[in-house]
């Protein structure tokens, strides 16, 4: 059977092969046609598969970050918007206080960051009845806008055809009289809005941080709200009770991986670092060197080096490094004891206004300990609004009365606040200790305290010489108050304790770079005159390094003159070896050092300028020298500027007014730059 089958199969295959050969032309064509028709029929009768619908990803941006403040105000029934230009948080704090005030006048306000909104909508504010725009604008550096107000400033400058008629506005400016361009940003916004047709409903307020900024604000605010009432025909509700902005939620059962532990922005950003690094995403830079600079004395001047290898961070000589410090753990523990709370409870403070862009006062969820350590300022004297809000929690009527008095604008109240809080340097812990009847809920205190801000330091290195390292020069702040307490500067004491290795781990510093206008001349052949006593020498260490590097590259470099000052040659002549080596190599063509206390009569940098006045004038007037001042704004910078006025008068044959104008022109041309602080 098997064999038969095999034979039959072979025979059949042979016949088929012969027939196939015969059919190979016409029939093959017909066969292909039939197969094609069958396939076409099958495909045309098959139900078409639906094309998958790719939905747009639901990004949270439109809902959480609306760029239209007009639509947001309409949606939430707000008629007052308070924009803030803030670098250190004070202007933002004032803006929040003003927006809360509105409720006491049957109005609704919102604080707003101009960086987050389309400021071109200002003209549309007339669509909202009884609308008002308030601007709390701080001035930063040499008359500059704050980082978050830069785009708004540019918009104001670029839009000459903008019609803001019908826009009601007022401005409160925050500045410091020790600076050359006092309140420049606030003054500009006030003037520019008027030029564009807006209606100023109350006078520009000027706050001076060199005096009493809080008092300036309160005095302005006390007169501002009656003017608003008169303008819009409304009356105060007479309700002076506390207005809470956030509500407390305690988390009893939460995944600790979802709890913030000190991150500024993204959760776990300190564990998984991703560039680019900025104020919302700082880089954790390892500390590679932390050494004391001074040889003696009771102060501690220090030099730190931060490693930025692999971070893609770039900087230039003259830039600032911003660091995010933490509060002293001992101070935090004492605060917890005074408040009688478990600091390790996990909490969230949620905004009662669900439409607000600011959902929490600081990253949440977190613990009270983290909030008081990383996020809140517990060392500065509390502002009057904090005292006013906390007064209700004092069981002693006398304490209540005094706290409310200090928050008032009465002369007696202002004097009490000045003496009891400011002059005595009482922080919130000292207030609680000296008012035993005051027992506020910790969540309300956390709502009221301002955010702990980054601290800025002039970089003491050049990226040409140290591309992977940023150097900091600082003096540790520590003093005894009138109440006998020892107050310590938050950032400098924190930096002092940043050992290179701590229990086997590398110490790190959260940091980012803030660009500066404090720049060496574009032409290396231009001479430079640098004046920087004390830690004001920091940026000049970078300048000297860079000028030395340029010389090594074979570039022609102009004269490099330094005026440095300290107390005693044998105690705090910091960077002595580096400076003398630079002079020896010819990088520093002139090194002038004033030791203020090594002789009977004090000698400062401005005195040394005058002993070199003829040469200084030649460099400035004939050789296009650039002048740089770094250090104390209150006294040194003014005295140094006066010395330059005197030199211009004597050798330029100018009157005092002409000499003043001459130096101002140098400033305008970028040839007289200041990096000063008060």
Q: What are the structural domain ranges in the chain?
A: 69-232, 269-325+454-516, 326-453, 528-676
- Reply yes or no on whether the pLDDT at 621 is more than 90: yes
Residues in the annotated binding site for FAD: 455-458, 473-475, 479, 489-492, 677
Mean pLDDT on 500-519: 92
Is 630 assigned a catalytic role? Answer: yes
- Secondary structure of 318-336 in the HEC alphabet? CCEEEECCCCCHHHHHHHH
Instruction: Express each pLDDT in 358-407 by its tens digit.
Output: 999 999 999 999 999 999 999 999 999 999 999 999 999 999 999 999 99
- Catalytic residue, chosen from 155, 549, 617, 677, is 677
Mean per-residue pLDDT of the chain: 90
pLDDT value at residue 253: 92
**326-453 and 528-676, same CATH topology:** no
Q: Are 547 and 465 in contact (CB under 8 A)?
A: no
Mean pLDDT on 303-315: 98
For residue 666, how many other CB atoms are within 10 A of its CB? 18
- Catalytic residue, chosen from 99, 131, 317, 458, is 458
Residues in the annotated binding site for NADP(+): 299, 535, 596-597, 602-606, 639
> What is the spatial distance between Cα 489 and Cα 501, in angstroms, rounded to a whole number?
22
- Reply yes or no on whether the pLDDT at 58 is more than 50: no
- Reply yes or no on whether the pLDDT at 4 is more than 90: no
pLDDT value at residue 473: 98
Q: Quick one: fold of 69-232?
A: Rossmann fold (3.40.50)
pLDDT > 70: what percent of the chain?
90
CATH number attached to the domain at 326-453 = 1.20.990.10
According to DSSP, the β-strands at 469-475 and 246-251 are unpaired
Tokens of 194: 């008027």
Mean pLDDT on 625-631: 98
> What is the spatial distance between Cα 88 and Cα 110, in angstroms, rounded to a whole number?
20
Residues in the annotated binding site for FMN: 86-91, 138-141, 174-183, 209
Model pTM? 0.86
- 268: Cα separation from own chain's centroid: 21
- Catalytic residue, chosen from 136, 364, 566, 630, is 630
pLDDT value at residue 7: 36
Is 364 assigned a catalytic role? Answer: no
CATH number attached to the domain at 528-676 = 3.40.50.80
Mean pLDDT on 508-534: 97
Is 229 assigned a catalytic role? Answer: no
Split at pLDDT 50, 70, 90, the class of 3 is very low
- Dihedral pair phi/psi, residue 123, rounded to 5°: -65, -20
Tokens of 495: 């930096």
Give yes or no for a cis peptide into 365 (omega within 30° of 0): yes
Q: Are 436 and 421 in contact (CB under 8 A)?
A: no
Split at pLDDT 50, 70, 90, the class of 239 is low
pLDDT value at residue 36: 57
- Reply yes or no on whether the pLDDT at 631 is more than 60: yes
Instruction: Express each pLDDT in 63-81 by its tens digit.
Output: 445 789 999 999 999 999 9
- Catalytic residue, chosen from 319, 377, 399, 675, is 675
Is 677 assigned a catalytic role? Answer: yes
Q: Are 537 and 634 in contact (CB under 8 A)?
A: no
Quote the Cα angle for 513-630-634, to 5°: 115
For residue 657, how many other CB atoms are within 10 A of its CB? 10
- Reply yes or no on whether the pLDDT at 573 is more than 90: yes
Class at the top of the CATH hierarchy for domain 269-325+454-516: mainly beta
């Amino acid at each position: 059977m098997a064999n038969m089958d095999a034979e039959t199969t072979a025979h059949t295959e042979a016949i088929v092969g012969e027939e196939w050969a015969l059919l190979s032309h016409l029939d093959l064509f017909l066969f292909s046609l039939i197969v094609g028709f069958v396939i076409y029929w099958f495909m045309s009768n098959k139900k078409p598969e639906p094309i998958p619908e790719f939905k747009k990803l639901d990004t949270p941006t439109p809902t959480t970050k609306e760029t239209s403040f007009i639509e947001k105000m309409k949606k939430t029934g707000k008629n007052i918007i308070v924009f803030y230009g803030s670098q250190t948080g004070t202007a933002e704090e004032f803006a929040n206080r003003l927006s809360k005030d509105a409720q006491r006048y049957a109005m609704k306000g919102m604080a707003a960051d101009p960086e987050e909104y389309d400021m071109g909508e200002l003209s549309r504010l007339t669509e909202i009845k009884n609308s008002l725009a308030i601007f709390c604008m701080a001035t930063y550096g040499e008359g500059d806008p704050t980082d978050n107000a830069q785009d708004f400033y540019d918009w104001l400058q670029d839009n000459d055809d903008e019609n803001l008629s019908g826009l009601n506005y007022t401005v409160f400016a925050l500045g410091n009289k020790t600076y050359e361009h006092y309140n420049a940003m606030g003054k500009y916004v006030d003037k520019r809005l008027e030029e564009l047709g807006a209606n100023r409903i109350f006078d520009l307020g000027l706050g001076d941080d060199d005096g009493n900024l809080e008092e300036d604000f309160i005095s302005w605010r006390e007169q501002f709200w009656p003017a608003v009432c008169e303008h819009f025909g409304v009356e105060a509700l007479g309700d002076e009770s506390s207005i809470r902005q956030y509500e407390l939620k305690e988390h009893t059962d939460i995944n600790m991986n979802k709890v913030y532990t000190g991150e500024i922005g993204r959760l776990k950003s300190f564990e998984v670092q991703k560039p680019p690094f900025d104020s919302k995403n700082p880089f954790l830079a390892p500390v590679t060197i932390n050494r004391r600079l001074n040889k003696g004395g009771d102060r501690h001047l220090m030099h730190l080096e931060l490693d930025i290898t692999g971070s893609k961070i770039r900087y230039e000589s003259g830039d600032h490094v911003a660091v995010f410090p933490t509060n002293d753990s001992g101070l935090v523990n004492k605060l917890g004891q005074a408040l009688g709370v478990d600091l390790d409870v996990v909490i969230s403070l949620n905004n009662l206004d669900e439409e607000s862009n600011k959902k929490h006062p600081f990253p949440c969820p977190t613990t009270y300990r983290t909030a008081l350590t990383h996020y809140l300022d517990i060392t500065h004297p509390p502002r009057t609004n904090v005292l006013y809000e906390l007064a209700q929690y004092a069981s002693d009527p006398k304490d209540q009365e005094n706290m409310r008095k200090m928050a008032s604008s009465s002369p007696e109240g202002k004097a009490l606040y000045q003496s009891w809080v400011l002059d005595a340097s009482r922080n919130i812990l000292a207030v609680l200790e000296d008012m035993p009847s005051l027992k506020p809920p910790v969540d309300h205190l956390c709502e009221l305290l301002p955010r702990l801000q980054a601290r800025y330091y002039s970089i003491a290195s050049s990226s040409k010489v140290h591309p992977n390292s940023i150097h900091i020069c600082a003096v540790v702040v520590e003093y005894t108050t009138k109440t006998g307490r020892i107050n310590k500067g938050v950032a400098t004491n924190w930096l002092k304790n940043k050992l290179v290795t701590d229990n086997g781990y590398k110490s790190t510093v959260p940091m980012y770079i803030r660009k500066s206008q404090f720049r060496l001349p574009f032409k290396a052949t231009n001479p430079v005159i640098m004046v920087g006593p004390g830690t004001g020498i920091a940026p000049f260490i970078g300048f000297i390094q860079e000028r030395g590097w340029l010389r090594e590259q074979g570039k022609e470099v102009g004269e490099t003159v330094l005026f440095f000052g300290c107390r005693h040659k044998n105690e705090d002549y910091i960077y002595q070896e580096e400076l003398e080596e630079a002079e020896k190599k010819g990088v520093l063509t002139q090194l002038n050092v004033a030791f203020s206390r090594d002789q009977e009569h004090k000698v400062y940098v401005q005195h040394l300028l005058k002993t070199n006045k003829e040469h200084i004038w030649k460099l400035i007037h004939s050789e296009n020298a650039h002048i740089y001042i770094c250090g104390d704004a209150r006294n040194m910078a003014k005295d140094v500027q006066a010395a330059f006025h005197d030199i211009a008068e004597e050798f330029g044959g100018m009157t005092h007014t002409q000499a003043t104008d001459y130096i101002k022109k140098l400033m305008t041309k970028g040839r007289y730059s200041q990096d000063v602080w008060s």
